Amino acid sequence: MAPIAVGDVIPDGNLAFFDENDQLQKVSVHSLAAGKKVVLFGVPGAFTPTCSMQHVPGFIEKADELKSKGVDEILCLSVNDPFVMKAWAKTYPANEHVKFVGDGSAEYTHKLGLELDLKDKGLGIRSRRFALLVDNLKVTAANVESGGEFTVSSAADILKAL
């Protein structure tokens, strides 16, 4: 499957997260993104170094700026279960706007065409690092990294696309 690209409509699929009342929610991507401007950024794994120290903090730090430019939702996607995503989110007490969503079996990541095979590193199938800007379900920016790079999918890169 070809990776998601600019001009594509994002596929629908289910993701899971814990809401502000600590209740597990299973929601469709389309229900989160229809009629909204959304940043969906993906990381290879919760608690991994680049994800934890650079990628996620950048979106947390730039959240107000993204919101001021019309972004309604900022979603951090990882091929982890929602319990891991909840624990990871708690390591960012200053976070007010980034929602940590789990794609435990990589089904949604597969629909995006953004799987990353890390079985040789003991991690299984994961997500490539990416950042998508989606406006009413249509992809307007698709910044997808190669391998383990972190060069085009930062919050600053998405701000340039707004």
Tell me the C-alpha distance between 115 and 24, whole Å. 25
Torsion of CA 57, 6, 107, 124, to 10 degrees: -60
* Residue whose tokens read 């650079």: 54
| DSSP for 12-78, written as a single string | P-EEEEE-TTS-EEEEEHHHHHTTSEEEEEEES-TT-HHIIIIIHHHHHHTHHHHHHTT--EEEEEE
Which residues have a Cβ under 8 Å from the Cβ of 128 and sit 6 or more positions away?
Answer: 3, 42, 44, 114, 115, 116, 144, 145
Annotated catalytic residue within 40, 43, 51, 144 = 51
Q: Is 76 a catalytic residue?
A: no
* Residue whose tokens read 């299984």: 124
Query: Catalytic residue numbers?
Result: 51
